[in-house]
Each structure stands twice: as C-alpha cells, then as structure tokens.
Structure 1
Amino acid sequence: MASLELFYGNLQGHNERYDFVKTPWNTILALMEQQYVVYYRVSTKRQGDSGLGLESQRAYVNHFYQGKHIIAEFTDVRSGKTIHKRPQLQQALALCRQEYATLVVAKIDRLSRDTEQALWIYRQLDGRLESCDIPHLDKFSLTLFMAIADRERELISIRTRQALEQKVKQVGEWRMKGKNEKKTAAAAVGAQLSRELANENENNRRAAVVIRNSREIGKSWSTIAAELNAHGFRTAKGANFQAVQVQRIYRRYEVQEDNLIVK
C-alpha cells in the first residue's frame, strides 16, 4: 500500500486535494491500494501461439503476485531490441502512469535487454517497476543486472564470430559461389542467427554446465538427456532433450570456450 503522504502528494491542484480531505477514510484506503499492471513478452509468433515462454512467465507472476490487485495484463510478440516498437508495452506504461500502478514483469529481460532502455522505463514510472527474478528492485540492482546482461550478449557475439572465423581457417570458405550466391549467403546468415539464438537461450547455457560436469564423470549422452528432462530442462524449442542435442550443446560450448583462449 502506498503511503498517505505519497498518494496525497500526487494529487493535482488545490481542488483535488480539498476533495481528498473530505473523502471517507474507507474510500481513501481503497484508492490507496497498490495496483499492478503485468507485462509479458515473447520473441516470436510461434512462441506466442504455442504458449512456450508465455506460460512460464505467467507461472512466475501467479506465484509471486497471487492475491495482489492486478488491473491489467499486456503481451507483446516482439523482439527485445527496442521498447519503442512494442505497442502493448506503451499501453502498459500509459496505464501505470494514469492509475499510479506498478509495472510487473516475470523476468527483467522480458522488459528490455538494454540498460538505458530499462532505466528510461524506471524513470518514467518513478521507480514503480518490479520483476519476479530481482527481489526488492531498485535503480542500483536494475543497473547491475542489466549491465551483466549487456556483457553476456557481447561475449556471445564475440564467441559466435570467433567460432565462425575458426571454421573458415580449418576448412576454408564453405559457402558456395555462383548464380545461387545470394540464396546461399541468406541461408548462411539464417544459420548464424539460429546459432546465436540458441546460444542466447538461457536454458541451453544452464544445460551446458550440467552436461559438461556429467561428461567429466563419465555419463553417457542418453543418461545426461534423461537427467536433464527429469529436472525440467527443455531445448530452445521447448521440447525434451535427446542424446544428439546434448552432444551438440556440449560441442558448441566447447568450441566457444576454446576460441576465447588467447593463443
């Protein structure tokens, strides 16, 4: 519940404040009840249609905000690159300003993956921003978490680029030239994007740690896949792990780590 001083201070003008003083106490308490606006974001239409990603976000919010006064929910099916091209986010921010509500996200990267954009939203809402994955969110913790995310994305880009350069050194230019050059180049760009998206998948990064540790103690690919599935891990597409996918993740992250070593 917002403090009485804060609520009174946000009333505009002498007339509003005069009317507030005459308002019955039980009505004032109702007006002061903290209100929440929930914002969800999925990156692709397929995720939005299937519920992958969206269902887990809702599960977080339902767990932490059960019984809270949620007045609206908004969902964008957009990338996290820019906040200004997400109409549902803009509506959510407008409603928060209008109703003096708090914006809630399941994970801070659903709001933005850019430090400056996240801080801009924080300022627009006068700090009325909460995320299920960051307890007691304030400007310092928001800046810290976003800076870590920024650095991780930068490292992912470096690892991906170095892995591609290393492959060219080992096997030469494998992309075909000729009349289908444009199609081949487009396919290569698409393949690279798919690899980057897979690398950025948080579940893959967590799974990679488990896979590496399990291989060190001699577990088979099939055994590792079964253990990942039993502990709730899912692939980037939301499916169960198979042995071949476990091998791919292990080798992908092994190549990336090797390329980070200065020779």
Structure 2
Amino acid sequence: MTKKYVIYRRVSTRSQGESGLGLEAQDRDIALFLDNYSDVPFEVLGTFTDVLSGADAHRPELQKAIALAKSAGAELLVSKLDRLSRKVSQIAGLMDDSALKIRVASMPNADKFQLHIYAALAEQERDFISLRTKQALAAAKARGVQLGGLRDKTMKRNEAAKEAADAAAKRVASIIVPMRESGASFKKIADALNAANVPTPRSKQWAAMSVRNALNRLAAA
C-alpha cells in the first residue's frame, strides 16, 4: 500500500520565500524523513507554502494542504513543529482533528500527544528566554552599559545562549532530577530523554555530559 503525504512549508518573510532561504532547510529535513523513515512506497500528493509569521492564524496554503490531506487520507508532513505554528492553541486545534494525520520530519516517531507536549514546552521556553533577555538588558542599561554596538550584540548573543541552556534545564527538571535521585546514571537519563524525543537547546541528542551540565545548572539556580 502506498503511503501518501501532503507537504506544508512556511517562511516568515517574502524575501525568504523568493530567495529560497529557509525553504531549502525545510526541504532537506523532509527529504531525510522520506528517505529514512517513511513507509515505502510513498507518494507526495502536493506541496503548499505560506509566506507569513508563525503567529498569523490565517494560513490559506495550510488550509489547502489540510483539505487535500484529509480528503486523500494522507499525512500532513512538515519539517518542524513550529512550521505549523508557534502558538500552542493553534497546534492543539490541529491535533484535536481526528481526521487529520500530522507527521513532523525532525521528530519522525512522535505521536500527536508527544507533539502537543513539545509545543507547550517550546512556547514556555520562548517566553522564558524573552523575559530573561529583557531583564538582562534592562539591568545592563541601569549599570550604564551602552547598548547597540558590537559589545551589546556579543552580550545579547552570550546571554541568549545561557538563557536557552537554563530554560532547557528547567524544562526537563521534572524528569532528570527524580531519575538522578533514584540512582539513574547520566547516560540512562540521556537515553530516556532521547527516547521521549526531547531535544537539547541546540536540537541535538542528549549525552551524559549534557545531562550533568543541566543538573549543575539546576543546582546553581
């Protein structure tokens, strides 16, 4: 039996859509999924692309993709979950549609329940990073730091990296802390996170060292 897919892509600006910037990365991830994870044989029934913000609920091409997927009994295939939306409420609405099958290339084995949890965690992490970054910049300004130059860009880049790592540690605290307290090794904890399709801040696989770093961050906090 042939597996059927309808591909949906999204870029945030017109320039990205015209240049292919962003689309190439999405196409690469989708191709990796089809070549390595899809049932064979498979057929792509169509590809639809919106050029708009992730916060914009009006997605004409997405609606066309959904309609085709449902009518043909195909899976709606996206490269990453945030290509559907950055809002949990919008993703939840799609997940609640029992007639719609969704597949995310970068999380090939995740079911709807896991995708919903991941969307909620990602939204919390974005909100947390935004808040901490604003507070850090306000504190720097109060100390007399001149913002806007190369030094400021470096500071914001370093701060953003730190915030992402701190947020990731908090996001998995309820998993790694109890496991560590019960005697689980760093490697065993890393394997559990990877099995649950929980990515690191850089969207990579967890390793024993990254679990230990996360626990150290939680202890320092």
Which TM-score applies when normalising by structure 1?
0.53
> Does 1 or 2 have the higher relative contact order (CA < 8 Å, sep 6+)?
2
Residue of structure 1 in register with 2:86 after alignment: 113
Q: Distance in 2 between matches of 1:58 and 1:74?
A: 12
Aligned equivalent of 1:134, options 107, 121, 124 = 107
Aligned equivalent of 2:25, options 56, 59, 66 = 56
Residue of structure 2 in register with 1:70 after alignment: 44
CA, structure 1 residues 138+249, in 2 after alignment: closer, same or farther (shift >3 Å)? farther
Residue of structure 2 in register with 1:220 after alignment: none
Aligned equivalent of 1:252, options 156, 167, 173 = 156
Q: Secondary structure at the match of 2:128?
A: helix
Deviation at 1:251, TM superposition (A): 2.5
Unaligned runs of 5+ residues in structure 1 are 2-32, 176-190, 192-243
Which TM-score applies when normalising by structure 2?
0.62
Alignment of 1:113-262 (within 5 A): 113-124=86-97, 126=99, 128-171=101-144, 250-255=154-159, 257=162
Q: Secondary structure at the match of 1:85?
A: coil
Q: Distance in 1 between matches of 2:111 and 2:34?
A: 18
CA, structure 1 residues 138+47, in 2 after alignment: closer, same or farther (shift >3 Å)? same
Alignment of 1:16-31 (within 5 A): none
* Identity of matched residues, %: 36
Aligned equivalent of 2:6, options 24, 37, 41 = 37
Whether the 8 Å CA contact 1:105–1:132 is kept in 2: the answer is: yes
Residue of structure 2 in register with 1:90 after alignment: 63
Which has more radius of gyration? 1
Runs of 4+ in structure 1 over 6 Å off: none
Q: Secondary structure at the match of 2:143?
A: helix
Residue of structure 2 in register with 1:104 after alignment: 77
